[in-house]
Structure 1
């Protein structure tokens, strides 16, 4: 069967030639995955270096962590209050400029 046989015109009677016959229909349904062979027992490379055991984590001072979080929260609230005050002052200036 040539590459162009699918694009050829049918014969004079409208029948297809033996070269351009449609391909066979595959069976309906799923027949499952193809069979596979298990890998050989020694398929992994040998391991020569053993990693060291994990180290101990440093002890944590929970009271110190809580104090630092409280200081950070206070600083964050302070910065937010200053920013809000600046925005209020600016909006008052802009509104007074529009009104007067």
Structure 2
């Protein structure tokens, strides 16, 4: 595959053309890489005076009680959804009957 279009060709070694219409050449500069890094000096961290307390023990959980509460919540959610669906069906039937009759 060759690219004959001059826009896709590499610039000449003398530099790439400058901004359109200026006729100037921009000198090529190579990327020399990131600047060198220096390791931090010894003791660069601030001194620590306070030690945090150890983590507290979590409260014990009653798994059976949690499961029962989740079951009750699921039942309530389904009940509310069924009531809402029933209301929507009744309203839809009323609106359709008004349009047809």
Q: TM-score, normalised by structure 1?
A: 0.69
| Match runs of 1:5-16 below 5 Å | none
- Residue in 2 that maps onto 1:93: 94
Q: Which of 1 and 2 has greater Rg?
A: 1
- Flag the 1:95–1:43 CA change in 2: closer, same or farther, 3 A: same
**Secondary structure of the structure 2 residue equivalent to 1:88:** helix
1:25-56 Cα offsets, whole Å, 9 max, x none, are: 4553x543322221111111100011000000
- Residue in 1 that maps onto 2:48: 47
**Number of residue pairs aligned between Structure 1 and Structure 2:** 78
- Residue in 2 that maps onto 1:76: 77
Kindly indicate whether structure 1 or structure 2 has the higher relative contact order, using CA contacts under 8 Å at least 6 residues apart.
1
1:67 aligns with 2:68: yes
In structure 2, what is the Cα distance between the partners aligned to 1:27 and 1:85? 75
Q: TM-score, normalised by structure 2?
A: 0.69
In structure 1, what is the Cα distance between the partners aligned to 2:54 and 2:91? 60
Which blocks of at least 5 consecutive residues in structure 1 are unaligned?
1-21
Which blocks of at least 5 consecutive residues in structure 2 are unaligned?
1-23
1:38-85 Cα offsets, whole Å, 9 max, x none, are: 111111110001100000001111000000000000000000010011
